[in-house]
Amino acid sequence: MRTDVRQVADGTYLVHGSNTNWVILTEGDAVTLVDTGYPGDREQVLASLAQVGSSPEAVTAVLITHAHNDHLGSAEHLRATYGTPVYLHEAEVPHARREFLHQVTVGDVLRNGWRPGVVPWALHAIRSGGKAHVPVTAPEVFPSAGPLDLPGRPVPVHTPGHTGGHVAFHLPETGVLISGDALVSGHPTSRVEGPQLLPDMFHHERARAVASLDVLAGLEGDLMLPGHGPAHRGPVREAALQAKERAL
């Protein structure tokens, strides 16, 4: 089956994995990979690189928005196999090492099992490696403040709440926001379409997640690439404020 890879801007590709997205940024022969899907998405990750004319050897760095299994899935594989550095916010580095785990629990899922979509989502998550132990052995803090010297020149933006060290990545030159799970456009457990926060059970600190929407509302851009759901076109500020209005 062909992996769903969509070019959404110059050198920018949104890939829809199994319920989770990742982003490929290209510059010549070099690539930045933002997030890596579930552990079970590995073949799709490798296929998506091939579809944009690249390879895992060409990945300059893996950037992780946050260390949940559906975003961290193949990060250690790429680091261990190809020597690819894996970068996160300093508050998220110990999370990636699995010194602790800020992730929805089985109890949370059971308490919310009556909600539409929760049980099918949970079964899919388990099949895809959502409960697997996939720590990154040697995660690294972003090497500099401001734009990273990587394809796409992404700028990490700390947006805590979903996890303590969650970041979005702003691409000012192309007006793109890679929003991770700080701002999404859909999810199998949500009956709402368009800009929104994930359902409450997924956030480590919901109040901080709501506050981080104000941070995103301050960014210039007209294309949002979320961790879940389709690409959203329109002012990033309006998307963030719409999600905040829905959350309050």
Overall average pLDDT of the 105-128 stretch: 87
Q: How far apart are CA 244 and CA 195, in angstroms?
A: 9
CA distance 234 to 225: 11
Q: How far is CA 154 from CA 2, 123, 157, 173, 245, in A?
A: 28, 34, 9, 9, 28
Place of tokens 């998220």: 92
Strands (E), the chain: 4-9, 12-16, 21-27, 30-34, 59-63, 86-88, 140-141, 155-158, 167-171, 176-180, 223-226, 232-233
Q: Residue 114: pLDDT band by 50, 70, 90 thresholds?
A: confident
pLDDT average, residue stretch 8-14: 97
Asked whether the whole model's pTM tops 0.85, one would answer: yes
- pLDDT for residue 128 is more than 90: yes
Find the range with the poorest average confidence among 31-45, 100-114, 132-146, 205-219.
100-114
Q: State how far the Cα of 60 lies from the Cα of 32, in Å rounded to an integer.
A: 6
Residue 208 one-letter amino acid: R
Residue 2 pLDDT = 67
Over range 172-199, report the average pLDDT: 96
Tokens in use for 228?
Answer: 């879940």
pLDDT over 80 at 1, yes or no? no
- Round the average pLDDT of the chain to a whole number and report it: 95
Mean pLDDT value of segment 58-76: 97
